[in-house]
Structure 1
Amino acid sequence: MTWKNSQISNKFPTYRNSAFITTHSWLEGKRKDDNAEGLWRVHDSIYDLSDFINKHPGGPDWLKLTKGTDITELFEAHHLTSTPERILEKYKVRDAKEPRNITLSLKEDGFYRTLKSRVIEKLKTIDCKKYSARSDLIHSSILALSYIFSMASAFYESKILGIIAGLFITWTVIIAHNYFHRKDNWRMYTFNLSLMNYKDWRVSHVLSHHMFPNSYHDLELSAYEPIFCWVPNPFIKNFTQRYISWIYFPFVYTVITILEYIKRTVYSIAKGVNLIEPNDALSLTVPLAMYVVNSSAPLKVLQLWLIILLSASFTFALIGLHAAHHLPENLHEGDAMRDNRDWGLYQMDTIIDRRDLKGSQFLVLTHFGDHTLHHLFPTLDHGILPHLYPILYQTIEDFEGQLRECSWLHHIIGQFKQLARITPNPLPPKN
């Protein structure tokens, strides 16, 4: 395996040749590689959804962002009824001229589509609104506490309260991730309190990472590679990334969200594209609320807001980067894959769940819990996912898959081992 090959696609991603990798360059590269003929591709057919953009129930951005790309995996994972397939057929233009670039499979009788059909039937027996309402209540409460502690930190000029506020903002942002996978809603905007942007993350997290985790197509890997490299490839990983990263990671974690904002701003100016959204201004509502309770000390308010941002960034990275994927036991680009290239099995091979989160809807929401099921069915509320385990276990048994779990400490230690690893695993995941 070299820098110029990818094991899940026919082409090495064009965007990875960019000197400055962003969501914009990722999408541009994907449009060049996907054989979608400038329109939208699903499986081996080309569709023109231009007239459907503003009718899309999930909101227009999903189709605006993905025009010119292959949305097969995205379409399959985000639609759990037969209605979207019937609508899609109305917009078919022709069969595709070239084969798909992505070589993972979604066969009708394969693991993922079998599991999906069983989940659709199971959902009919679950009171989904009840569990979703509980998630909404948790989110609203954490959001309120984020502002309360931020304002309290300003009122009492307390750094400790600022750090606590940063923790609540972290949880707010992670819970917001439960919502931006779905149709447009107000809760997804609360992701922006951290200086990150939900729309930017809809590309890097939903379109990229969720569909192709731990591969060269995973933007959440490539975006970190100047600092962290999780791909076990001796041609691209240097000594600093392997070992010195163990020392500097706390400093990087502390400024990740700020660096992301700076990167989007610099790229927007340099390339003349708009990656800065009007809704980015939502992050300013926190210091404004703080200023309301302590208008006599604006510099102190700014200092405390910076503390809140830095502590939120550190906690977000500590939770997010040690949530499920970066372990030596997980499949990464370059490791041997199983013979069955089903997309759902591929997802499971890249994930190990945190067992210490099971059974608590609060912990699952605030710590990226039930990660395997979330990757397989990202539009479902996290409160619903625990009820799908019996079906998942049965389908795993039918297809000889594997659901793995470990502790958070194992994830933290494992990530350092993965950063150091340069030898690809020669054996495929256990069947």
Structure 2
Amino acid sequence: MVIETWKKSGIATKFPSYRNSSLITAKGWLLGKQNDDEAEGLWRIYDGIYDFTDFIKKHPGGEFWLTESKGTDITEAFEAHHIAIGPHKLLSKYKVRDAKHPRIYTLTLHEDGFYKTLRERVREKLKTIDKSPQRKSDLIHFSLLASIFIFAVLSARLNSLVCLALAGTALCWTTIVSHNYFHRRDNWRMYAFNLSLMNFCSWRVSHALSHHIYPNSYFDLELSMFEPYFCWVPNPHIKSKLMRYLSIITEPVFYALAFPLQKITRIIFSLRHDNVMYWHDSLPLSIPLAIFLFSDLSLFLTLRQWLFITMIASFAFCVIGLNAAHHDPEIYHEGDAHREDRDWGLFQVDTIIDRGDLKGSQFLVLTHFGDHILHHLFPTLDHGILPQLYPILYETLDQFKGKLRECNHLVHLLGQHRQLLRTEPNTKPPGADD
């Protein structure tokens, strides 16, 4: 396929090949990365090629991360997911050679740059940080998880629309809070994410390895997966103005069906290509099973009740998630002018406007993707301890001419729709006025 001149990436020397596929999936993204990344079939970090084959089963974070990322460049993912010095010291043991070709990614991670300076300060802060809020995060997660089943059963037994809505809300919030756990080493709490019909394995790719590393760029799978329903890239070649307006009109329907569509897409890919289904894809069935066992509903009515709960959760998840931090005309998107300093950490800051209305409430932060910038920069840290890092973040941003921007949810809702309609790239780089 011929790549048109407008198909260029602002963060890489190549246009990602996965975007030429008719069906955009996490598996397809990985295959595209293996094709594009010049990793020579192994793992690439900076300009070195590493063979972690013997380390896969020893990896403290679990086998998944290394197994799925083989054949790709994991430079930024490695740096963001390893705050401690230990993993960096291990690298030399597994290096097999220098890479034959330069990296395709143009973002930088210099030792004296913004991100590594900030990470060094955070590393020191973590030695004395109060980690007790992590227990509160765990309690919130467990309480919401239990609430799904309690309200789901009550909605059936009492024929209550209120309980039905509460069950859907609890499912939505449990899904979001579970995202706090699948960025880390394997743990039982991450499995609760699957109750939504989505799957944490797929999201570890689309969210942790793709969106978190390359937000709002062509390499951001979460940007591509929503097309053609929603197109946030300010480029008239991708989607016409008329189609952008139609996206806003059809938005509520898509929001309600997003969870089931994720499951359907993975099933179709498994039937047509490679299997991407897991045993834990059956976990969502625990909700209708609880309804059926603890109420007098028939099987048909049980499944209908479950569908309504899932659609409520799906709608709420999209209202929160798609308007959480990343889409506003003032935020960097693919095609916009980028700042002169290509530091990866500053790139994260430029692609985010935080939800200022969530600060001060651990519950709201956990259930609404709060403290977004710090979460992107240090995804393995519990949301509960992130507020203690703000003084360090502010200090480092001032030093490197970055800016933490904030607004409330309403402003994000309006901004996300203005971004859908925007077709002209911003010519003014982020930080130009900082």
1:26-67 deviations in Å (ceiling 9; x for gaps):
000000111111000111111000000000000000000000
Shift of 1:298: 2.0
Q: Hey, what's the Cα distance between the residues in 2 that align with 1:339 and 1:241?
A: 34
Q: Hey, what's the Cα distance between the residues in 2 that align with 1:243 and 1:81?
A: 47
1:6–1:12 Cα contact (<8 Å) kept: yes
1:67-104 deviations in Å (ceiling 9; x for gaps):
00000000000001111012221100011111111110
2:103 maps to 1:100 = yes
Q: Which residue of 2 aligns with 1:418?
A: 419
State the SS of the aligned residue for 2:129: coil
1:232-291 deviations in Å (ceiling 9; x for gaps):
0111112343211111101110000101100110111011x1111110101100110111
TM-score normalised by L of structure 1: 0.98
Q: Which residue of 1 aligns with 2:302?
A: 301
1:296-352 deviations in Å (ceiling 9; x for gaps):
522221111111010000000000000000100000000000000000000000000
State the SS of the aligned residue for 1:177: helix
* Equivalent in 21, 27, 38 of residue 24 of structure 1: 27
Q: Which runs of 5+ in 1 are unaligned?
A: none
1:21–1:222 Cα contact (<8 Å) kept: yes
Q: How does 1:149-188 map to 2 (within 5 A)?
A: 149-188=151-190
* Equivalent in 198, 221, 228 of residue 230 of structure 2: 228
2:150 maps to 1:144 = no
Q: How does 1:234-249 map to 2 (within 5 A)?
A: 234-249=236-251
Shift of 1:4: 1.7
Query: What's the % identity of the aligned pairs?
Result: 59
Q: Which runs of 5+ in 2 are unaligned?
A: none
2:90 maps to 1:117 = no
Q: Which residue of 2 aligns with 1:213?
A: 215
1:114-173 deviations in Å (ceiling 9; x for gaps):
000000001111122x11111001101111111100111122233331121010010000
Q: Hey, what's the Cα distance between the residues in 2 that align with 1:56 and 1:154?
A: 44
1:233–1:334 Cα contact (<8 Å) kept: yes
* Equivalent in 2, 5, 10 of residue 13 of structure 2: 10
2:395 maps to 1:390 = no
Q: How does 1:190-339 map to 2 (within 5 A)?
A: 190-271=192-273, 273-339=274-340
2:157–2:296 Cα contact (<8 Å) kept: no
Decide whether aligned partners of structure 1 residues 326 and 2 sit closer, same or farther in structure 2, where only a CA change above 3 A counts. farther
2:156–2:297 Cα contact (<8 Å) kept: no
Point out 4+ residue stretches in structure 1 off by more than 6 angstroms: none
1:159–1:304 Cα contact (<8 Å) kept: no
Shift of 1:198: 0.4
* Equivalent in 55, 58, 77 of residue 74 of structure 1: 77
Q: Hey, what's the Cα distance between the residues in 1 that align with 2:158 and 2:277?
A: 33
1:174-212 deviations in Å (ceiling 9; x for gaps):
000000000000000000011000000000000000000
Shift of 1:295: 4.4
Q: Hey, what's the Cα distance between the residues in 2 that align with 1:414 and 1:296?
A: 43
Q: Which residue of 2 aligns with 1:63?
A: 66
1:2–1:233 Cα contact (<8 Å) kept: no
TM-score normalised by L of structure 2: 0.97
Coordinate RMSD, CA, aligned: 1.0
How many equivalent residue pairs? 429
2:429 maps to 1:409 = no
* Equivalent in 33, 37, 52 of residue 34 of structure 1: 37
Q: How does 1:39-50 map to 2 (within 5 A)?
A: 39-50=42-53
2:55 maps to 1:52 = yes
Q: Hey, what's the Cα distance between the residues in 2 that align with 1:5 and 1:270?
A: 29
Q: Hey, what's the Cα distance between the residues in 2 that align with 1:187 and 1:318?
A: 23
Q: Hey, what's the Cα distance between the residues in 2 that align with 1:148 and 1:176?
A: 18
Shift of 1:2: 4.7
Q: Aligned AA for 2:29?
A: W
State the SS of the aligned residue for 1:94: strand
Shift of 1:419: 0.3
Q: Hey, what's the Cα distance between the residues in 1 that align with 2:54 and 2:412?
A: 46
